[in-house]
Amino acid sequence: MLSYDRFGEGKCNDQAREAIRLTFHDAVGRSHALKSSGAFEGGGADGSIIWFANVELADPANDGLEDIVLALKDVADNHNVSYGDIIQFAGAVGLSNCPGSPRLAFYAGRPDPVAPSPSGLIPSPTDSADVLLARMSDAGFTAEETVALLAAHSVARQKTIDPSVPNMPLDSTPEVFDTQFYTEMLLKGTCYPGRGRSAAEVKSPLKSTMRLASDAAVAQHASTAGTWRALADNPGAMQTAFREAMQKLATQGHTNLTDCSSVIPTAAPAMRPPAARPSANTQ
């Protein structure tokens, strides 16, 4: 089973996190503005990051994805699966390794990509909220859907932003898919976990976690702060919003796909109390 062979015996580990991250980086490369100008808009969730790895992995935005790209290429080539399908399948299976996560839909039948994703379409952790939301809107996502997609950071760790603190998580429960990421973002930042010299991070409330500048900006933006707090308060709503936004992301640019969601495992429940909104020291 892919979850066993590729993702550390079903654990919410680095391989699972890389697979989850790869689903976004492959699929978000789509632009309505480019299409309107007559240029190639990008193929969305088409596997171009594997097919054209020599081009797309040269983009600094894709740093850290080399190992998972090579691993999934090997699986796809050996099982006659399209690269677009293997990326979305692996991401859904990888997420299921993380307790508390929703069971993602999986649709198969993506054709091979026709070209590399256009450059500059992957949001950066240095982006302001306005820039990030504009990019996601250009890719076809509302502000609310963008906030929901950031739930992936509940199980994320950083490797390239500050090498002095490798594998630093973005919240205090990186092995559990929960609302802690949203809740902790409401706390006042007081320290940096490492050197704190990157424009991609801002002060965190905990020495044991890193706060991305773009996450903090979206949490505080007038158009998204309400959605942010609503998801922080409601684990069920967060799971539903993330599942729906991920289904939209995974099918971007494709029609006539086959629903194969039954092959995706169900995650174990999160064995911890729900996150609580901080009552003081909030931003």
Binding-site sequence positions for Ca(2+): 26, 44, 46, 48, 154, 171, 173, 178
Looking at residue 114, its amino acid is: V
CB neighbours of residue 176 within 10 Å: 22
Neighbours of 6 (CB within 10 A): 19
User: Which residues are documented as binding site for heme b?
Assistant: 153
- One-letter amino acid of 252: Q
Strands 211-212 and 258-259: unpaired
Give the separation between CA 239 and CA 100, rounded to whole angstroms: 9
Q: Per the residue annotation, which of 25, 32, 221, 254 is the catalytic one?
A: 25
Amino acid at 32: H
Helix (H, G, I), strand (E, B) or coil at 123: coil
Contact 169, 209 (CB under 8 A): yes
Going by the annotation, the residues of the binding site are 26, 44, 46, 48, 153-154, 171, 173, 178
Query: Rounded to an integer, what distance in angstroms lies between the CA atom of residue 133 and that of residue 143?
Result: 6
At residue 234's C-alpha, the angle toward residues 229 and 236, to 5°, is: 140
Question: C-alpha angle with apex 282: 277 to 283, nearest 5 degrees?
Answer: 130
> Which DSSP string corresponds to 242-255?
HHHHHHHHHTTT--
Q: Among this protein's residues, is 254 annotated catalytic?
A: no
Q: Which residues are catalytic?
A: 25
